Structure 1
Amino acid sequence: MADIVHRRVVVAGAVQGVFFRDSCRQEAVARGVAGWVRNRLDGTVEAVFEGAPERVAEMLAWTRHGPSAASVDEVSVEDGRPEGLTGFEVRPSARS
């Protein structure tokens, strides 16, 4: 998995209730990026992207604006170890 990167992002702003998660899923699937996305109780959206470095970079760039109804204030990114994720899913909201 040397050519695979793993990034965890938390997106803050007006990002819930604006189709951010489903739009994120569509964008990731179109780019062949694996992972997941979910709402958090604090009003942010959390996502994990895993795939080719350039494709994950495209997803990170997309999160900085999101879908047209979103208003992104901040995006934090953490590197991680690839987990061998496949597919991309919208997960239920985080409980904590």
Structure 2
Amino acid sequence: YLDDPHELTEYVRKPKLGREGANVTIVGAGFETQTGGVYGDEGYVYQLLDPLPQFDDMRPALGAWIVGDESAGLGIRETSGLVTDNGAAFVPHRIPQ
């Protein structure tokens, strides 16, 4: 959603133009948390809260790079919190041709 969370009771609010987990608000069952930052003047998006799974107390997020029609790389970022931010551990993987 682009204006409010509507029927969502557990959701994440993210700035439309943000970076590295700044200005994210998470509303869950019995809790609310937010990160600081300078983003949000352009508005927010609201998404259903669906936390990443935990492995050894870390939450990995995968990002893929595509160049043209070819896979080029994969990045794995891990953090112990609910928001993947600029403090997350990062391991890049290059996919050679």
- The TM-score normalised by the length of structure 2 is 0.23
Q: Whose Rg is larger?
A: 2
Higher strand share goes to which structure? 2
- The TM-score normalised by the length of structure 1 is 0.23
Structure showing greater relative contact order (alpha-carbon pairs closer than 8 Å, 6 or more residues apart) = 1
Higher helix share goes to which structure? 1
